[in-house]
Amino acid sequence: MKADKWAWWKEAVVYQIYPRSFADSNGDGIGDLNGVTEHLDYLKELGVDVIWCSPFFASPNYDNGYDISDYRAIMKEFGTMEDFDRMLAGIHARGMKLVMDLVVNHSSEEHAWFVESRKSRDNPYRDYYIWRDGVDGGEPNNWGSCFSGSAWQLDEATGQYYLHLFTKQQPDLNWANPKVRDEIFDMMTWWCKKGIDGFRMDVIGMIGKENYNDGPVYPGALYGDFVPSCQHTETTHRYLKEMRERVLDKFDLLTVGECGGTPADAIRYSNDDGSELNMSFCFEHTDGICDHTEMGKWSDHGGPLDEVREVLNRWQLALQGKAWNSVYLTNHDQPRQVSRFGNDSPLWREKSAKMLGTLIHMMRGTPYVYQGEELGMTNIYFKSIDQYQDVEVHNAWKQWVLSGRVNATDMLRWFAKIARDNARTPMQWNSQPNAGFTTGTPWLPVNNNYLEINAEKALKDPDSVFYYYKKLIALRHTHDIIVYGEFIPLLENDPCVYAYRRALDGKELTVLCNWTDKTVPCALSSDEMGEELISNYPEHKEGFLYPYEARVMLK
Ligand code: GLC
Ligand code: CA
């Protein structure tokens, strides 16, 4: 008996493309849709089922496309609508699917709706956004933006403030206005009719603003927290149910919400009853475990085994039989996983990259692979602030360093560990200049380890991280237990080993991962665990696990 109902998106593996950094087809230094099309055979070879492409819509790029100025046009740097059609046809011709990024908590300030909205208080588009009067000569409330500073911007033209939970170039859309919902649902339907296969929904848990009360100010913080008023509210759940009825139920889609929150929140967003989304992302093991100080994510806390395991196991157990999970360790907002959770030294990079892949791909939930993860790409370790492009980094620099609150050396160390640009350096294709990403000057430097780490080299080496991922993906397509098996944690207090079991129809799959660079004892005996499905070591030592060893056994 399967613990879960069948669905194609449960059996799938999703590959995330960050188009700006994937492949540049015309030498302007910026990745583009034709670049994606040229590399579809590579993705087919890897064996992934679904491609989630970060936003490719018209945008002034204050936040690399997460600020959309026209939802029905292609970003000019990325190509044309014909290029999109060709990319989609190429994906479908290879039996893969395309999930687009839906960024509708906010638009760009250059979207025609906002251009109108800010013109006057009685403009017909005024209510498409969230405008408020100031209070006592200041902002309407104490909320801080996710990217530093206040979440409110005074607009001189009309003397009111608008809300932006991200940069001031990303004004929040007013979902309470039924016209806004109509526009968004029409636009989604339009893309579905064009043939896309799903949506990854950007910060979708924030669309339902319930009130505009001051938020709690945590010790040392400069602003109040908007979360109690804006995140995971009943209003958000109501909008998602409406979206489900008016759009999603009419097509066969993969839907994943960038929701975060607790397992209880995820159970509502991605409930088996099918009332909202298919699945949502957890952030407790990425953003959550480093949110230890008033500096938010900025620290070198990294990701210790005990904390990561506590979060992932808790989510695995809580969602089981109730909701579907999506599992990942990195994406375009996180550093490279091998640098953060593994070991990116030449000695252990490949072993630890394979171990982390094993850990994720054997869990209950749909696995997500972020471009370059299948090569074991690493952080770039920029040394100075000028090397970064990311608006999040520059705003944080202004808020903490330029104001004298934090010293530059600490901040640069934290950026090197955790900043988003680490995952955004160009894809490393081969040993040509700029790793074959571009014939021009790349918009963000290529990591200079590309002669060692690149796709061409990986494809020639049967022992590469690439072929290991290919095998992990193929195993998912062969063994039901990997998709549908019940999750059972093992050795929950082991300081070095992350272990768990999956169970289905009397079968058992055991997963052992050594999270350290030492050979460590393992309390489970391999004799009783059955046949080996995959491992990153050709041989084993009974009762022990080698550094970063991963093994999966089926009985
Ligand atoms: C999401 C995106 C991130 C973006 C933000 C604002 O978190 O993943 O890249 O900056 O939303 O759209
Ligand atoms: Ca280009």
CA of 84 to the centre of ligand 2 (A): 14
Domains of the chain from N-terminus onward? 112-163 (3.90.400.10), 487-554 (2.60.40.1180)
CA of 103 to the centre of ligand 1 (A): 8
Q: Which two tokens stand for residue 68?
A: 């959309």
* Residue 3: per-residue pLDDT: 60
Banded pLDDT at 292 (limits 50, 70, 90): low
The residue nearest atom 9 of ligand 1, judged by CA position, is: 333
Residue 45, H or E segment = helix 40-46
Which ligand has an atom closest to residue 420 CA? 1
Place of tokens 């013109």: 119
- The closest-lying atom of ligand 1 relative to the alpha carbon of residue 332 is 9
* Residue 291: per-residue pLDDT: 66
Q: How far apart are CA 247 and CA 298, in angstroms?
A: 38
pLDDT single digits (tens) 463-522: 999 999 999 999 999 999 999 999 999 999 999 999 999 999 999 999 999 999 999 999
Residues 6+ apart with CB under 8 A from 292: 299, 301
In contact, 278 and 255? CB cutoff 8 Å: yes
Residues 6+ apart with CB under 8 A from 187: 71, 72
Banded pLDDT at 543 (limits 50, 70, 90): very high
- The closest-lying atom of ligand 1 relative to the alpha carbon of residue 392 is 10
CA of 378 to the centre of ligand 1 (A): 21
Q: How far apart are CA 383 and CA 343, in angstroms?
A: 20
pLDDT single digits (tens) 35-46: 999 999 999 999
Q: Which two tokens stand for residue 361?
A: 């791909």
* Radius of gyration, alpha carbons of the chain: 23
Which ligand has an atom closest to residue 286 CA? 1
Average pLDDT over residues 449-470: 98
Measuring from each residue's beta carbon to the nearest atom of ligand 1, which residues come in under 6 Å? 63, 66, 103, 166, 202-203, 258, 332-333
In contact, 275 and 255? CB cutoff 8 Å: no
DSSP notation for 361-403: HTSSSEEEEETTGGGT-------SGGG---HHHHHHIIIIIIT
* Residue 238: pLDDT over 90: yes
Q: Which residues of 119-141 are buried (b: 16+ CB within 10 A; e: fewer)?
A: eeeeeebbebbbbeeeeeeebbb
* Residue 1: pLDDT over 60: no
- The closest-lying atom of ligand 1 relative to the alpha carbon of residue 66 is 12
Tally of residues, the chain: 555
The residue nearest atom 2 of ligand 1, judged by CA position, is: 202
In contact, 110 and 71? CB cutoff 8 Å: no
Provide the 3-class DSSP secondary structure of residue 199. Answer: strand
Residues 6+ apart with CB under 8 A from 200: 52, 99, 100, 101, 102, 256, 258
Residues tagged active-site:
202, 258
Q: Which two tokens stand for residue 404?
A: 């004298």
Q: Which residues make beta-bridge pairs with 296?
A: 293
Q: Which two tokens stand for residue 79?
A: 């190509």
* Residue 532: per-residue pLDDT: 96
Residues 6+ apart with CB under 8 A from 138: none
Q: Which two tokens stand for residue 513?
A: 């991962």
Rounded alpha-carbon distances, angstroms, from residue 45 to 25, 96, 474? 20, 12, 11
The residue nearest atom 5 of ligand 1, judged by CA position, is: 66
Q: Is the pTM of this model over 0.95?
A: yes
Provide the 3-class DSSP secondary structure of residue 539. Answer: coil
CA of 100 to the centre of ligand 1 (A): 14
Ligand 1 pocket, mutate which of 63, 148, 395 (most atoms under 8 A from CB): 63
Ligand 1 pocket, mutate which of 20, 173, 286, 333 (most atoms under 8 A from CB): 333
CA of 77 to the centre of ligand 2 (A): 6
Share of the chain above pLDDT 90, in %: 94
Average pLDDT over residues 212-229: 94
* Residue 310: per-residue pLDDT: 97
